[in-house]
């Protein structure tokens, strides 16, 4: 059995689709559904059961899944970079991960988990996935992810599991994420409503408005890499997962306008004060480490990814992958 925590979420539900496409249906989905429309991410997908994360954690530690689990794909976490409740993040993102990793190590279960590019902070030390202990995240979300990366290192488990530092992932099934949804999705919605896209003005003299850069990666590419990491059990360690090619917000906006088929209209607005002190103006994944493994991947361009997302899902109202 494959366990996917966060299996009804954005990346989790897309990876469930990838598993199904590869003939894997013995999957236990671990997730909260709540009152949002996250359940729609599961429609049409095959899995054995769905269980609440608190129940799964208790059952796992009680030994209820002995010999049943082959691999745990741990994607479940609070991904809100604006979350202020540090105690909640420590339990939900850090201690929960520790419990699953410790179980996996003790029971010879392959463990693949989600870290984040938020661990790199403003990137003053670069974006190499060989870095960990010295990094300085800008928010508690990033710190909770770094704490777990460091726990893995401190306990000598880096050669028996896989950590993935996701960069700016976008694509179908992200609609429940609200403010944390990608700018590609938000841009499409803004075009539908107003015919224009709003971008934050730059908060740094190094960048003109809209020229702040991020490493944007399509969720379908992400799932292809993850599947390779599941198949090749010899791969271990902490890896970046972006394209390795930073693009700016203006290019993102123009790609969405092109996919919709209208002339660009961009308005630059003030950045909220709450974001100014924790805003990453530049990220670009160093992909050299992953490139040396069997999980190496040729990523789609930003433009081709946006065309697929907008054309096949948003514009057609098909929405879900």
Domains observed in the chain:
2-170+218-242+285-299 (3.40.50.720), 175-213+246-282+306-314 (3.90.25.10)
Q: What confidence tens digit (pLDDT) does each residue in 138-163 have?
A: 999 999 999 999 999 999 999 999 99
178-192 pLDDT tens trace: 888 999 999 999 999
177 a catalytic residue:
yes
What's the pLDDT score for residue 227? 98
Is the pLDDT score of 276 beyond 80? no
Phi-psi region of 170 (alpha: psi -120 to 50; beta: other; left: phi over 0): beta
Dist CA 16 CA 264 (whole Å):
35
pLDDT by residue (tens digit) across 16-43? 999 999 999 999 999 999 878 899 999 9
**Residue 97 pLDDT > 90:** yes
As a whole number of angstroms, the distance between CA 296 and CA 281 comes to 27
CB 246 within 8 A of CB 302: no
Is 313 known to be catalytic? no
Question: What is the pLDDT averaged over residues 91-108?
Answer: 96
The model carries a pTM of: 0.95
Band of pLDDT at residue 216, cut at 50, 70 and 90: very high
Three-class DSSP labels, 219-241: HHHHHHHHHHHHHCCCCCEEEEE
Of 75, 294, 280, 70, the residue nearest 165 (C-alpha): 75
Q: Among the options 120, 141, 309, 313, which is catalytic?
A: 141
pLDDT at 236: 97
Catalytic residue among 177, 186, 228, 289: 177
The per-residue b/e assignment along 109-125, b for 16 or more CB within 10 angstroms, e otherwise, is bbbbbbbbbbbbbeeee
Mean pLDDT, the chain, as a whole number?
95
pLDDT of the residue at 273: 82
Band of residue 118 on the pLDDT scale cut at 50, 70, 90: very high
State the Rg of the chain over Cα: 19
**Model confidence at 275: pLDDT above 90:** no
Distance CA 214, CA 169 (A): 10
């Amino acid at each position: 059995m494959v366990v996917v925590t966060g299996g009804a979420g954005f990346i989790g539900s897309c990876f469930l689709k990838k598993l199904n496409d590869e003939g894997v249906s013995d999957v236990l989905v671990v997730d909260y559904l709540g009152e949002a429309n996250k359940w729609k991410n599961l429609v049409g997908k095959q899995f054995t059961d769905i269980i609440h994360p608190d129940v799964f954690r208790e059952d796992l530690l009680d030994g209820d899944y002995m010999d049943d689990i082959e691999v745990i794909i741990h994607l479940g976490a609070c991904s809100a970079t604006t979350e202020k409740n540090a105690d909640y993040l420590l339990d939900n993102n850090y201690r929960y991960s520790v419990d699953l990793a410790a179980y996996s190590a003790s029971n010879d279960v392959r463990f693949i988990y989600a870290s984040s590019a938020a661990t790199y902070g403003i990137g003053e030390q670069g974006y190499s996935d060989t870095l960990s202990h010295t990094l300085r995240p800008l928010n508690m979300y990033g710190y909770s992810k770094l704490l777990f990366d460091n726990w893995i290192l401190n306990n000598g488990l880096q050669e028996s599991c896989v950590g993935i530092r996701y960069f700016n992932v976008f694509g179908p099934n992200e609609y429940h994420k609200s403010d944390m949804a990608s700018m590609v999705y938000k841009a499409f919605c803004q075009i539908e409503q107003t015919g224009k896209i709003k971008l934050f003005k730059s908060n740094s003299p190094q960048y003109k408005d809209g020229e702040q850069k991020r490493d944007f990666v399509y969720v379908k590419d992400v799932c292809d890499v993850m599947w390779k990491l599941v198949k090749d059990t010899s791969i271990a360690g902490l890896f970046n997962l972006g394209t390795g090619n930073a693009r700016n917000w203006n290019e993102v906006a123009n790609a969405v306008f092109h996919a919709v088929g209208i002339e660009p209209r961009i308005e630059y607005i003030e950045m909220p004060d709450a974001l100014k002190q924790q805003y990453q103006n530049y990220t670009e994944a160093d992909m050299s480490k992953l490139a040396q493994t069997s999980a190496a991947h040729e990523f789609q361009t930003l433009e081709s990814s946006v065309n697929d997302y907008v054309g096949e899902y948003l514009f057609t109202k098909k929405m879900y992958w």
